[in-house]
Structure 1
Amino acid sequence: MKNKNLSYKFYVIMSLSIAAIPVVFIVLSYAMFFTHLGITSLFNIDNHFSGSVLTTYFYIVFFGILFGLMFIAAKYFKKIIHRINTMEQTVRKIAEDDAFPEKLAVIEESEDELNKLAASINTMIDRLRAKEMELSQMEDLKREYLKQLSHDINTPLNALNLELYLYSQNHNVSKEEVDVLYQKVDYISKLVNSISSEALFDIDNYYIFKEDISVHKSLKQTINKWSYLLNKNNIEYTIDVQKNLIWQANELWLDRLFENIISNIFKHSATNQIVITVGDTLIIKDYGVGFEIDRDHETTGLSVIKNICQKLNIQLDIESTNAGTAYRLSQE
């Protein structure tokens, strides 16, 4: 019965238990009767069999046997409960612990449902271990690829800095114009290094070191980078600083946020004016053609802007009409 299923074992135990009651009763009755006859005959005792005398002894032995059967059944069910608790602890370790638990003991070729469940849990552990190894290999490949990619991008950027210096010397380019280009190259280099580092971690668990950042100073740096293109395309811009707004943010990520907003305006709004107001909230407004926020979510780069705002805990509200678009940003 060791390899049978649980329902079969249950019916066998119940059938034996029910059948044992009358059988034990009958066997015990005759056993008590013949024991009495044997003792009286052996010792020549003149004492007739009396049911009232032996009834107490009979029931003591009878119920003792029944309690013995109950104890055996309790031991069996205790063993089942122990197996279930072991499986429950194993599944909990899979869900909560970093390391996978040891596999459960399984009886080969058994039809026991608990044994089948243990075999399924073992299969799940093997599959999860295989997936963990596969993910680890993928992470190693991604890490190596990003290192190579970062190096391949930074190498021509260093050469570009040298070319800019030589070009400015040979063509008498003003220092202000060259500095703007230097800032662009430096920004790209920092961005590549930041993205390479970020991609080595899960996006939700990647930690950004934050500090107090002056919003209007960071915004002015971004505007200075775009000033050449804005002036070339006859786009006027004004910055009205009503208060020194301070946010808890990362300088590079805040720079990325403003870069994407200005880039979004420059590429898609067809505006001729950008008005920036720094007060309790930051408002960046253009007077272009506007767009449908839901429909143009990807084409206007809003997904990048929203993701950065989410990372920096910045509340973003965008209003867009045919008369222009306003970006309202605030941080509690």
Structure 2
Amino acid sequence: MKKFFKSLLAKYILIILTALFIIQIGFFVPAFLFIFTSNQEETERQAASIEEQWHNEASDIERMTKGTILDHFKQWKQQYPQSSMFWVDNHGNLSAQLDVTAELPDEWTPAFTAQFIKERYDEDPFTVIAFAGNNQNHGFIVFELPRSALSQDTNQFSQLGGRTFSIIALTIILFFIMISLLFFRGIRKRLVALQEAMEIRDTDRLPVSIDVKKNDEIGQLESTFNQMVSELRESKQREQEEEQLRRELIANLSHDLRTPLTKMRAHLYSISKETLSANGVQAVQVMEEAMEKLDRLIENLMSYTLLTARKMNYKPESIDIIRHLRTSMASWYSIFEKEGFEIDVELKPFNETEWNVDPLWLDRIIDNLLQNVLRHAKSGKFLSVRTEAGKDYEAIIIADQGNGMSVHSNGKGAGIGLTIVDLMVRKMDLEWEVESGHRGTVIKIKRPKKLS
């Protein structure tokens, strides 16, 4: 809820409500005044009509008797139930009356008559005085009606006017809301398109550009986004060029180092054929070991460069993994035996012994791991190579009893050998796990079983 109140939609709804409030003030007040004025005009019009009709019918009365006057009063009473009427004859006597609540004198003097007319003029109740018959000698008749009854007769007009104004106001409000929603929908559509452009990635894993259709605030945001995408592409291109230059440099450097290394080995071999002292023979052995390590480092560096550039030949084929492991271990057996290692090899067949891998890459992985054991686990003097079949995988396990990878070793290199192992394992759709501690290191190369 807190997030909603901070959103652009909540702010826009507040704007709409404020606008509606202003519309009500600016529209309904004049409408009310118009209706009120119209009611007054209608009331005055109706009063004039009653006055005219009362005079006309009073002049048409022929027989000036109490009965005929009361009959006339009763006819008007049916039309105006709240009215009251009375007759003062030519002698000034109150001769007939109908529903009169005010106290009236039985005899009317000219002075009282004038006072009565003055009090009733434009007051409540509405009063009409007309001479009876067509002769002023018959006295006058009086019609009185509360002015509230006149306003009640205009309710129909008021209701009609109120409904009309309500419909007009509702139409204006709905139109305003519709226009506002369409406006906001257009803004939201453009913002969603910009968000989708940010999430979409092309072959370079970079956002794609968006078409700028309008030169407004959102259009400026889209232009800035396109500029950012362009700068990212230029930066990516420079990075790729620098990476390619680095790889070419490493490849050339590896090639250039191999040439003098080969010459040094040839001359060292010639020296070893000469008659040397014990110190000389030991020096030649140390140099041979150093050259061998340097050769492995150059080979790993070259392999890493080719792997990261995806230029190293990968030729997978179906091989018998158990037979291949036995052949690889046979070439390493004498080396570990010379170093005084206890070797435990237990290669139990899998249900499916055929693995689809590159044999040269698999040999490279095993060689790197075994070389790692020679460099880091000489203190344990133990090597175990075995197979393991789990519920969801088949694995090759290489274990030692050294001090673990986290402990400093004189033979420890830059770790590029394990990086090559990781790249090759993932390329061949295999998995690997490393568990290392002060009691040794266990490495599992796993092939997930296919779902049947």
Report the TM-score range of the alignment, normalised by the length of the smaller protein: 0.5 to 0.7
Secondary structure of the 1:282 match is strand
Residues 293-312 of structure 1: CA deviation (Å, up to 9, x unaligned): 6x449968596488358624
2-side partners of 1:199 and 1:106: how far apart?
44
- 2:386 maps to 277
The aligned amino acid for 1:314 is E
342, 362, 365: which one pairs with 1:254? Answer: 362
The aligned amino acid for 1:129 is S
- 1:313 maps to 430
Q: After TM superposition, list the pairs within 5 Å mapping 1:1-332 onto structure 2.
A: 9-10=15-16, 13-26=19-32, 28-29=34-35, 51-52=154-155, 54-55=157-158, 57-70=160-173, 71-98=175-202, 99-103=208-212, 105=214, 107=216, 115=217, 123-154=224-255, 156-157=257-258, 194-200=303-309, 211-216=317-322, 218-219=324-325, 230=336, 233-235=339-341, 239-243=345-349, 245-270=353-378, 271-278=380-387, 280=389, 281-286=395-400, 288=401, 290-292=402-404, 295-296=406-407, 301=415, 304=419, 307-308=422-423, 311=426, 312-316=429-433, 318=435, 322=439, 325-332=441-448
Residues 111-163 of structure 1: CA deviation (Å, up to 9, x unaligned): xxxx4x77556545533432332122111221232134223323554786798
The aligned amino acid for 2:369 is I
1:80 CA drift (Å): 1.6
1:13 CA drift (Å): 1.4
2-side partners of 1:161 and 1:220: how far apart?
31
2-side partners of 1:162 and 1:297: how far apart?
33
Residues 29-49 of structure 1: CA deviation (Å, up to 9, x unaligned): 37967999xxxxxxxxx9x99
Relative contact order (alpha carbons < 8 A, sep ≥ 6): 1 or 2 greater?
1
- 2:137 maps to none
How many pairs are equivalent? 292
Structure 2 unpaired stretches of 5+: 1-10, 43-51, 53-149, 203-207, 274-290, 390-394
2-side partners of 1:214 and 1:185: how far apart?
30
Secondary structure of the 2:386 match is strand
Secondary structure of the 1:262 match is helix
1-side partners of 2:341 and 2:261: how far apart?
28
Q: 1:24 to 1:255 in 2, by over 3 A?
A: farther
Q: 1:17 to 1:310 in 2, by over 3 A?
A: farther
Secondary structure of the 1:331 match is strand
Residues 248-294 of structure 1: CA deviation (Å, up to 9, x unaligned): 444454333212221221111115453433564433344x5x2246x
1-side partners of 2:41 and 2:258: how far apart?
107
Secondary structure of the 2:397 match is strand
1:79 CA drift (Å): 0.3
Bigger mean CA offset, 152-161 vs 60-69 = 152-161
1:83 CA drift (Å): 0.3
Residue pair 2:385, 2:399 contacting (<8 A) in 1 also: yes
2-side partners of 1:11 and 1:196: how far apart?
65
1-side partners of 2:163 and 2:28: how far apart?
16
Q: 1:246 to 1:24 in 2, by over 3 A?
A: farther
- Greater helix proportion: 1
Q: 1:325 to 1:139 in 2, by over 3 A?
A: closer
1:19 CA drift (Å): 0.6
Secondary structure of the 1:101 match is coil
Residue pair 2:383, 2:398 contacting (<8 A) in 1 also: yes
- TM-score normalised according to structure 2 size: 0.48
Residue pair 1:241, 1:277 contacting (<8 A) in 2 also: yes
1-side partners of 2:30 and 2:177: how far apart?
17
Structure 1 unpaired stretches of 5+: 37-45, 108-114, 173-180, 202-207
- 1:40 maps to none
Secondary structure of the 1:274 match is strand
Q: 1:169 to 1:292 in 2, by over 3 A?
A: closer
Residue pair 1:285, 1:325 contacting (<8 A) in 2 also: yes
